[in-house]
Amino acid sequence: MADYPATLKYTKEHEWVNDESPATVGITPYAAEALGDVVFVELPEVGATIEHGTVVGEIESTKSVSELYAPVSGTVTEVNQAVIDDPELVGSSPFEAGWLFKVDVSGTGELLTAEEYMAHAGI
Amino acid sequence: MTDKRTPLHEEHAALGAHMTGFGGWQMPLRYTSDLAEHRAVREAAGLFDLSHMGDIGVHGPDAAAFLDHALVGAISQVQLLRARYSMICADDGGVLDDLIVYRTGESEYFVVANAANTDVVLGQLRQRAARFDVEVAPVESALLAVQGPRAEEILRATAGFEEDPEASGGVTLENLRYYACAPMRFRGEAVIVGRTGYTGEDGFEIWVSPGSAVGLWRALLAAGESFGLVPAGLSARDSLRLEAGMPLYGHELDTTTTPFEAGMGRVVRLDKETADGRPLPFVGREALASRKDAPPARVLVGLRGEGRRPARAGYDVVRRAADGAAGAKVGSVTSGAPSPTLGYPVAMAYVTPEVSAEGTELAVDVRGRTEPFVVVPLPFYRRTK
């Protein structure tokens, strides 16, 4: 089982976000495992203004598609081109090489601690 | 209602399988990776638990005549120890299920139905059996499949697994033909081995008593390890059959679809005759005879994606406008996925006949975005030997 770093915050929709500036966003190993092999990732564009709790992209696996929710509000400053080119990184390295995008944060919604997230996901 | 569990449920749990509900059963969706399991079947071999499939025994003096009446195929002409892909249709010609019929004796067959349709097929067969001296009964058995180019070597290397040329009339793993079956043995117990599958690869399906399923599963995995055999789940099974252009009931086939629309007209034998040479009035014959030559409202086609985004079941197929925008709706996707073997999206879809020609440039509405697809012949993938 993957370790859920206490330094990160999580959403009930299975995204994680760190407390750096700009903040980095990804999906959790739990979500990656449930999705299976990721084959396509659609991310917001650099410069886009996003609002927490809204759909900002898609993660598509061999079997299904799921929506990507913004864990925070702000402006997208960077997207991970490596994950667009090689979507399998989302599954193989969800906390590291499989990060999705970075945001200049202007506000957040409800975020969970690692402990709360694990309880929520039943991990 | 809770899902049923196969005799291999604990094995799947021990292997850490991701389970899913399918046709009323808890089944492994994947063990580790859909893609790795898919590739293992194409390159080496995969082991599947198919115990959810519905096995129905048909035996009695009228078994052959009964199946000619109940199904659309010429089942009486299937030779001993051979198998036939067939369908059971309603009076209006709609497909109730697609199935494989194995002839294990002169007046002994077994019919393998889709899990979700087993009760419908069993009920229909019993209803249609009224005028025949035949017994129709579900068979309690586990079904394991070894699929892939190394399948024959793996079975040969499996401890406790033996050919039974005396019982099979000389049929061995080596000379067992595609769509044939033979009695063999596992730890002395009689099992049925069919050279059939749903992956587009060489492979075997093995019916074994529920009590011996775990032993056979473990023996196959142990023997197969050095050949690259891995346990494979429903997710790989679905992408394998899609590449092989094989229909899946509930997607390409349903009660509103005739075998002709599905491109499966060859399984309908309107030329079946009674003993005195009249057309045999099998269930659905009248409707199917009138539909056969009528222009179809829709045709099943293969679609190859020119972009990266796969189409999914239920998405609209549209005309491709000159500027790449979406045009009028011309059909619906029935199955779609990124093809692991080919590296591009593939899909099957029902479209109107005027856009069904090979090479027709169409598009699929992928969640509001127009993705280019082109009509290609089925199957997408065919094994080389």
Please, what are the averages of pLDDT over each run of 10 residues along chain A (123 residues)?
87 95 96 90 96 94 90 97 94 95 94 95 89
* Low-confidence spans in chain B with pLDDT less than 50: none
Q: Is B251 at the interface with chain A, CB within 8 A?
A: no
What pLDDT is recorded for position B322? Answer: 78
* Per-residue CA distances from B183 to B75, B81, B114, B159, B195 (Å): 20, 9, 23, 17, 12
* A63–B310 CB contact, under 8 Å: no
What pLDDT is recorded for position B57? Answer: 98
> Helix or strand or coil: residue B211?
helix
What pLDDT is recorded for position B119? Answer: 97
Question: Which of A37, A60, A65 has its CB closest to that of B34?
Answer: A37
Residues 6+ positions from B226 with CB-CB distance below 8 Å: none
Q: How many CB atoms lie within 10 A of CB A1?
A: 8
Please state the separation of Cα B240 from the chain's center in Å.
11
By CA distance, what is A32's nearest residue in B?
Answer: B33
Rounded (10°) CA dihedral B35, B36, B39, B44: -160
Reported ipTM: 0.76
Homologous superfamily of the B4-51+141-243 domain (CATH): Probable tRNA modification gtpase trme; domain 1 (3.30.1360.120)
Q: Is A6 at the interface with chain B, CB within 8 A?
A: no
Q: Which domains does chain A have, with CATH numbers?
A: 9-106 (2.40.50.100)
By CA distance, what is A40's nearest residue in B?
Answer: B309
> Helix or strand or coil: residue A60?
strand
Is B159 in contact with B222 (CB distance < 8 Å)?
yes
Q: Is A49 at the interface with chain B, CB within 8 A?
A: no
Question: Which of A36, A58, A60 has its CB closest to that of B34?
Answer: A36
Instruction: Return residue ranges of chain B for CATH 3.30.1360.120.
Output: 4-51+141-243
Residue B55: burial class (beta carbons within 10 Å; 0-12, 13-18, 19+): buried
Q: What 8-state DSSP symbol labels residue B227?
A: G
Is B282 in contact with B86 (CB distance < 8 Å)?
no
Please identify, in words, the CATH class of the domain defined by B299-376: mainly beta
Chain B residues with CB-CB distance to A58 below 8 A:
367
Q: Is A51 at the interface with chain B, CB within 8 A?
A: no
What pLDDT is recorded for position B1? Answer: 64
Quickly list DSSP for B60-123: STTHHHHHHHHSSS-GGGSPTTBEEEEEEE-TTS-EEEEEEEEEEETTEEEEEE-GGGHHHHHH
Residues 6+ positions from B317 with CB-CB distance below 8 Å: B303, B311, B329, B330, B331, B332, B333, B349, B351, B362, B363, B364, B365, B373
Q: What 8-state DSSP symbol labels residue B279?
A: B
Q: Is B33 at the interface with chain A, CB within 8 A?
A: yes
* A34–B35 CB contact, under 8 Å: no
By CA distance, what is B239's nearest residue in A?
Answer: A62
* A63–B18 CB contact, under 8 Å: no
pTM for the complete prediction? 0.92
Distance between CA atoms of B206 and B195, rounded to whole angstroms? 9
Instruction: Return residue ranges of chain B for CATH 2.40.30.110.
Output: 299-376
